[in-house]
Structure 1
Amino acid sequence: MPYMIETYDKPGSGALRLGTRPAHLDYLEANKHLLLACGAKLDDEGGAASGGLYLVALETRAEAEAFIQADPFFEAGLFERVFVTRWRQAYLNRQNTLNES
């Protein structure tokens, strides 16, 4: 069953995020086979990012934790908090994905 990883950037870390972003994007590209969805959490104006949300196709908490810990954003110390939560996909692309009898 997939995992949801939610990250929160440390306050005042915009420059660190921007400087690390190319390596982060390379990491995501190399691991896109694991990504169900992924993206930054933005302010209301859509400009500044303050963290991210990853939906990953991994089977264990240990795998999900290892995934986020290998992200260049994590390695650079960008995150103030990281939450890893087991997740059940119910809809994808506006389609119900649950097996209902």
Structure 2
Amino acid sequence: MPYLIETYDAPERAHVRHERYQEHLDFLTEHKHLLLACGAKLSDDGQAADGGVYLVDLNTREEAEAFIASDPFTHGNLFREIVVRRWRKAYLDGTCFL
């Protein structure tokens, strides 16, 4: 069962997003086989990120928690909150799975 991971940045740690960005991209590339989708949550003007969303194809909450724990952004203490939830795929890329 896929998992949705939603992260919320700590405003005072915003510099970590810039400092660890390339490490984070490398991490995503290394784990692309697990990613259904992922990306930053942006301000309305698209200029600032303040968190992210990951849809990962993992079997257990423990695997999802271990995944986000190994992200360089987590290592840099960027996030003030991380929410991990099971996710049921209904539509993906225009395909209905129900």
1:77-92 to 2 correspondences below 5 Å: 77-92=77-92
Q: Which residue in the other structure is 1:66 paired with?
A: 66
1:8-87 to 2 correspondences below 5 Å: 8-87=8-87
Q: Which runs of 5+ in 1 are unaligned?
A: none
TM-score using structure 2 length? 0.97
TM-score using structure 1 length? 0.94
- Pairs aligned (count): 98
Aligned-pair RMSD on alpha carbons? 0.7
- The structure with more radius of gyration: 1
Q: Which residue in the other structure is 1:96 paired with?
A: 96
> Deviating runs (4+, > 3 A) in structure 1?
none
Identity over aligned residues, as a percent? 57
